[in-house]
């Protein structure tokens, strides 16, 4: 019989309090007029584009945002952090990666609005008077990821091992040394006399 133990880490080491889910779709103008703040977490598994790059989607991105007016524009400033498990390019195993980022965005309805944005604010598209905070967070994290991530030298797991074929059979030289004499040899020696 084979017993399979599913080791399931049931608790995070450093997450004593349970986060509220971060608001996703919201009206940034309304939030800015009230100078609201909002904070919370997003399940990594909810961020589809990011999930595709992860070894495990357990965990949260923690993020917080503040909304304000800057001149005639709206500024949304936020920061976020997450502990990710990326996929090692060398062995395919999980690589821990901490990501922290800041964003400063301003809602626009068309690309034509972008040149008018105050210095330091990136555009975020507003559709039907709403933006997606989750998308802002996901975009920022995707930008922060290294293009290649792998374990330190010597720390890779043994999920894949590159082995040469040790049983390679040497090529046999099958050339046969058949030397045949094209001329018939007189085999019958007839001694006369
Ligand atoms: Zn590795």
Q: What are the residue ranges spanned by the domains of the chain?
A: 25-144
Question: At 118, phi and psi to the nearest 5?
Answer: -60, 155
8 C-alpha vs ligand 1 centroid, how far in Å? 21
151 C-alpha vs ligand 1 centroid, how far in Å? 4
Confidence of residue 10 (pLDDT cuts 50, 70, 90): very low
* Structure tokens belonging to residue 148: 């290649």
* Structure tokens belonging to residue 138: 């996901």
144 C-alpha vs ligand 1 centroid, how far in Å? 20
In whole angstroms, what is the distance from residue 191 CA to residue 193 CA? 6
The least confident of 31-40, 96-105, 123-132, 170-179 is 170-179
Q: Is the pTM of this model over 0.85?
A: no
In whole angstroms, what is the distance from residue 85 CA to residue 38 CA? 26
- DSSP state at residue 153: T
163 C-alpha vs ligand 1 centroid, how far in Å? 16
Reported as type and span, the H/E element at residue 50 is helix 48-51
pLDDT recorded at residue 191? 47
Model pLDDT for residues 61-99, shown as the tens digit of each residue:
999 999 999 988 999 999 999 999 999 999 999 999 999
57 C-alpha vs ligand 1 centroid, how far in Å? 18
Please name the residue that has the structure tokens 């919201």: 26
Average pLDDT of span 36-43: 97
93 C-alpha vs ligand 1 centroid, how far in Å? 5
In whole angstroms, what is the distance from residue 129 CA to residue 131 CA? 7
Q: Using alpha carbons only, what angle is made at residue 93 by residues 88 and 96, rounded to the nearest 5 degrees? A: 70
Confidence of residue 19 (pLDDT cuts 50, 70, 90): low
77 C-alpha vs ligand 1 centroid, how far in Å? 36
Burial of 20 (0-12, 13-18, 19+ CB in 10 A): exposed
167 C-alpha vs ligand 1 centroid, how far in Å? 27
Q: How many CA atoms lie within 13 Å of 45's alpha carbon, on the beta-carbon side?
A: 4
């Amino acid at each position: 019989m084979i017993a399979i133990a599913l080791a399931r880490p049931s608790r995070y080491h450093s997450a004593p309090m349970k986060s509220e889910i971060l608001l996703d779709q919201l009206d940034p103008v309304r939030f800015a007029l009230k100078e609201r703040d909002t904070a919370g977490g997003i399940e990594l598994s909810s961020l589809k584009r990011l999930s595709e790059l992860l070894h495990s989607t357990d965990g949260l991105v923690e993020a917080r945002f503040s909304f304000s007016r800057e001149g005639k524009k709206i500024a949304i400033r936020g920061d976020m952090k997450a502990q990710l498990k990326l996929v090692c390019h060398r062995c395919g195993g999980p690589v821990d990666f901490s990501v922290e980022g800041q964003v400063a965005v301003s809602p626009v309805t068309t690309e034509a609005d972008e040149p008018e944005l105050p210095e330091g604010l990136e555009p975020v598209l507003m559709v039907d008077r709403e933006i997606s905070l989750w998308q802002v967070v996901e975009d920022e994290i995707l930008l922060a990821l290294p293009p290649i991530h792998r374990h330190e030298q010597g720390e890779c797991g043994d999920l894949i091992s590159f082995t040469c074929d040790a049983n390679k059979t040497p090529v046999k030289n099958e050339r046969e040394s058949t030397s045949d004499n094209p001329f018939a040899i007189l085999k019958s020696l007839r001694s006369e006399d």
